[in-house]
Chains A and B, each alone.
Chain A
Amino acid sequence: MTDINAYSRRVFIRQGALLASFAATLPHFIQQSAFGMLAPDGSTLGSRPGVPDERIMVVVQLSGGNDGLNSVIPYGQPEYHNARPGIGIGEPGKPKNGGAALQLDQANGIGLHPNLTGFKELHDAGSLCVVAGVGYPNPNRSHFASMDIWQSGRPEGKGTGWLGRYVDASCNGNPSADMAVAVGRTAPLAMTGAKSTPIAFESADLFRWLGADKNGAMDKEYQAMVRAGSLPGVEPGSQESFLMRTALDAQLTSDRIRAAVSKKPLVAYPGSALAKQLQTVAAMIRDGMKTRVYYVSMGGFDTHANQPGGHANLMRQLGDAILAFQKDLAAQGNDGRVMTMCFSEFGRRVRQNASNGTDHGTAGPMFLIGAGVQPGLQGKYPSLTDLDGGDLKFTTDFRGVYQEVLGKWMKADTQSVLGGEYAVPGLVRA
């Protein structure tokens, strides 16, 4: 058999002897679990029997530049209504252009978009923190460039992602492969570290080999081949060994995730794409996956024209999806472990444009949701009279919000991730 001779010759040349290493047959994350996942100290909040204490964060990216002024509405200021005659939302009880704001901060005349009823309910329950006026110096109005700045956590928008650096540094520099999961088409820059990349998939049902869909008999062969992990004579450290181990990892991860999401959720979710993504995240949390950071996203916020109807739909989808997610977490007993953060790459101009829409602007609100937040409106709402070329001046640096969530919630060393100290109002309680 020439095959066998050729094979063994190559193997011998590589390693000098035929040996089968037991370690080589173990998938990476089983090995790594031996290092253990460090539980954050002092994290007793919401601790229940049978529920692990490790804290989790979920990032919700609102792509396209969410109109902050119509999400968190300064209805008490005439400048708001003057600048937005065709799209400005009315004060509570006085509907205008599609609705009346929901009360958030009566003293300062600030409310929520009428369709953010989900957020209103969370706010009234003390689980919503609205951070006003978040941005960064020298704002960039390009979607991509500004998104890169937010995702890298760096003003130049280059290099690794802020969550990737967090994952890199976790578990004493030995992060497990499933530390970070992105439900989406590609791995976001935010989660890409120097060492780590997240698991990324758009739909769990498609996070698998699709070859057997055409011919069921292939599945058995495929499973046997990719689950081998290694074969006798494959040298640990070789390219073959690396690929065989990763293939086994991928298969086990796929099994786990697909089993987790196949369970019926404990609450009903709305039908939006964001709701589906959050439902998948909740299922993974319920399954007890070791993942500490999840990432989901929702598009459509680039409302240049005829904004009112479209933006109202987005607000409905956002608030309702996150409310369902929180209820699911509560039903699981995991609501004390999870904090959700919503951001967008920029807000929009104060003044509406001639197409009844808004153009790219600067600062905008962020939303933090969970049992650990400092509830209510936090930070300083930007002035509508002291503008920078028609744009809001930011009052809170976004890296300060990252610092709060990473430091106080995830108990991480923020200096190594953010490379600086940022002043922030209290956003996280413990």
Chain B
Amino acid sequence: MHAMATSPPIATDLRPLDTGIQPFDAAAARHLLSRAGFGGTPTQIDVLATQGIDRSVALLVNFESQPEKSVSPDDFDRNVMPPLTREEREQLNAARRARDESAVERLERKENQAKASDRRQLIDLKKWWIARMIETARPLEEKMTLFWHGHFATGARTIEDSWHMFQQNQLFRTYATGNFGMLVLNVIRDPAMIKYLDNDKSRKGRPNENLARELLELFILGEGSGYTEEDIKAGARALTGYTFEDDEFEFRDGNHDRGAKTIFGKAGNWNGDEFARLALAKAECSEFIAAKLYRFFVNDTPAADISAEQREARESFIKALASELRAQQYEIKPVLTKLFSSAHFYHLSNRAATIKSPAQLIVQTVRQYGTPPRQLSALAGACDLMGQDLFQPPNVKGWDGGRTWINTSTLFVRQNVAIYLLTGKRPDVYDWENDETRFNPEPLLAGATTPGAMVDRLISVSLAAPPHPERRAALVSFLESQAQARATEHSRAVAVIALITALPEYQLA
């Protein structure tokens, strides 16, 4: 209890961690690896703790120094959904008019076959991304790609072109920690987004408001924050003509409304870029993005469930983060550097304070324990079962995250996907392949020989905060009883890891 006297109050601004007061120890290094990435092995944690906070943050944030798993455009088929040629379209219309069912069917069959290939390619895309998250030496790059996917949510079912989903995923990767404003300008040129929010149907005289509305409500300013219905209507006109042809953005001058518009009280012949820039210039934008980054990286406990002191600290920290975003002109990288270096981020009240997303849960379990990745299609399916179907967020709002990930059904899947990774045991209901590859926990436990040392090692790598002492005691006595029952070293180790992954606390990052 005396330790309390040395615990610092929660910092309310971006001041860096003072390691004289709170050391950047293994627990802090684990916190950083888990939040800015997908966790790490005991060795990786030790390396970060040894090299100190500044180098550790730089290693994660300035990830360009790390080798890239290159993305080849040949990984996927660009022409998976070939549009009908003009000739085919005419034939199809003629056949329909003539009620020539066999001709209609022949032409539609081509489209149906393409759709089947597209669905297959979408599954390949999910597997590819999960593999990338597992293997990457640049975890923050993938994590921010996931962040932007949830922010600029676009669903593959509506797009019906997995190449466009791949293109969009690459866009998020390119701008993962780049300039948010530039990302927005690219998003309004992104074929998947244009299709998802119907901007391809928007033209002068009959604008479609979908993209303009979501830009203000969900992408730039936040719901009801700093805009009016009139701004949306004017913005929709500004965005007319922003469409795509095949795989590329196209500005159709003839469809664009060049007339005068008033946006946020400013009159001009605004186009879509100018509309976005006007929104980006509003202070509400920085607060909205700062709050979202905070919830993703720092703490997603509902405000009603934290103390008044924490609430105040949270609010002023987000304000400071917002002002840093403005000062950096929306360059994400320096802002994240400050965030991951801040005393606030490392405060004990912000440890074990976010709930792992399904992707995080899977990828972190593989990375921190070094389990075989098993069947990637099974992992993609498990992600869906846990509520995070990649490339298919539930709606344009993206995933709500935090506690909404957890319910009685998803909790069992979360526990069982860990069992699958550790043992290869197939939970039949989910059609996962049985996988006989053996998980080797030896490197994880190197040097830990007694039950107590083994449990301490596993807790330090597995849990975001020290668990209740009863938990530790139960795990130690389980290991002891297993030793008496002459279980093999391997099965004892796997069993105790499996129990740790079943702890409710394991769901916290």
Interface residues of A (CB under 8 A from B): 1, 3-10, 12-16, 144-145, 158-159, 177, 185-187, 189, 192, 197-203, 206-211, 213-215, 217-218, 221-222, 224-226, 231-234, 237-240, 242-244, 246-247, 249-250, 253-254, 351-355, 359, 389-390
Contact = CB atoms under 8 A, between A and B. Distances in A.
Contact of A6 (B301, B347, B466, B485): B466
B416 interface: yes
B421 to A, nearest CB: 12
Interface in B99-120: 99, 101-102, 105, 108
24 contacts: A3-B456, A3-B469, A6-B465, A7-B466, A7-B467, A7-B468, A9-B3, A13-B349, A189-B394, A207-B412, A210-B416, A211-B416, A214-B491, A215-B495, A231-B471, A233-B468, A239-B352, A240-B505, A240-B508, A244-B504, A246-B406, A246-B504, A247-B504, A351-B101
A279 to B, nearest CB: 16
Interface string B218-254: 0000000000000000000000000000000000000
B3 A5 contact: yes
Contacts of B499: 211, 218, 221-222, 225
B1 interface: yes
Interface string B71-104: 0000000000000000000000000100101100
B105 A240 contact: no
Contacts of A237: 301, 304-306
> By CB atoms of chain B within 10 A, which of A13, A355, A359 has the most?
A13
Interface in B473-499: 474-475, 478, 481-482, 485, 487, 491, 494-495, 498-499
A15 B498 contact: no
A187 B413 CA distance: 13
B503 interface: yes
Given A10-B466, A390-B99, 9 more contacts: A5-B3, A186-B384, A210-B415, A218-B478, A231-B470, A238-B301, A240-B504, A242-B305, A353-B105
B351 interface: yes
Contacts of A144: 157
B327 interface: no
A200 B465 CA distance: 31
A7 B105 contact: no
Given A7-B467, A159-B395, A250-B412, A214 B3 contact: no
A351 B98 CA distance: 13
Interface stretch (B133-141, B144-152, B162-170, B427-435): B427-435
Interface string B369-406: 00000000000000011000000001110000001001
A158 B305 contact: no
B301 A239 contact: yes
> By CB atoms of chain B within 10 A, which of A158, A214, A231, A237 has the most?
A214
Nearest to B347: A13
A129 B416 CA distance: 42
Given A3-B466, A209-B416, A243 B406 contact: yes
Interface string B272-285: 00000000000000
B504 A226 contact: yes
Nearest to A237: B305
A27 to B, nearest CB: 10
Nearest to B103: A354
A355 B348 contact: no
B360 interface: no
B291 interface: no
Interface of B: 1, 3-4, 7, 27, 96, 99, 101-102, 105, 108, 157-158, 301, 304-307, 347-349, 351-355, 384-385, 394-396, 403, 406-409, 411-412, 415-416, 419, 423, 425, 427-430, 456, 465-472, 474-475, 478, 481-482, 485, 487, 491, 494-495, 498-499, 502-505, 507-508
A206 B307 CA distance: 39
Smallest CB-CB A-B distances: 3 pairs: A237-B305, A243-B504, A250-B408
A297 to B, nearest CB: 15
Given A240-B504, A247-B504, A353-B101, A213 B468 contact: no
Nearest to B100: A354
Given A159-B395, A250-B412, A389 B96 contact: yes
B471 to A, nearest CB: 7
Contacts of A185: 385, 429-430
Nearest to A232: B468
A224 B502 contact: no
A14 B419 CA distance: 32
A222 B304 CA distance: 31
Contacts of B354: 239
B105 A355 contact: yes
Contacts of A211: 415-416, 419, 498-499, 502
Contact of B409 (A1, A12, A200): A200
B348 A10 contact: yes
A50 B502 CA distance: 39
> By CB atoms of chain A within 10 A, which of B403, B409, B491 has the most?
B409
A363 to B, nearest CB: 19
Given A10-B466, A206-B427, A218 B504 contact: no
A42 to B, nearest CB: 33
Contacts of A206: 427-429
A210 B414 CA distance: 11
B412 A208 contact: yes
B108 A359 contact: yes
A353 B108 CA distance: 11
Contacts of B395: 158-159
A354 to B, nearest CB: 4
Nearest to A202: B429
B307 A15 contact: yes
Nearest to B411: A250
Contacts of B507: 243
Given A199-B409, A211-B498, A354-B105, A3 B351 contact: no
Contacts of B482: 217
Contact of A242 (B101, B306, B403, B408): B403
A57 to B, nearest CB: 20
Nearest to A213: B425
B502 to A, nearest CB: 6
Contact of B355 (A10, A199, A239, A254): A239
B392 to A, nearest CB: 10
A226 B428 CA distance: 23
B441 to A, nearest CB: 14
A187 B502 CA distance: 22
A246 B416 contact: no
B468 A177 contact: no
Contact of A210 (B349, B427, B474, B487): B427
A127 to B, nearest CB: 32
Nearest to A205: B429
A1 B469 contact: yes
> By CB atoms of chain B within 10 A, which of A177, A187, A240, A354 has the most?
A240
A209 B287 CA distance: 41
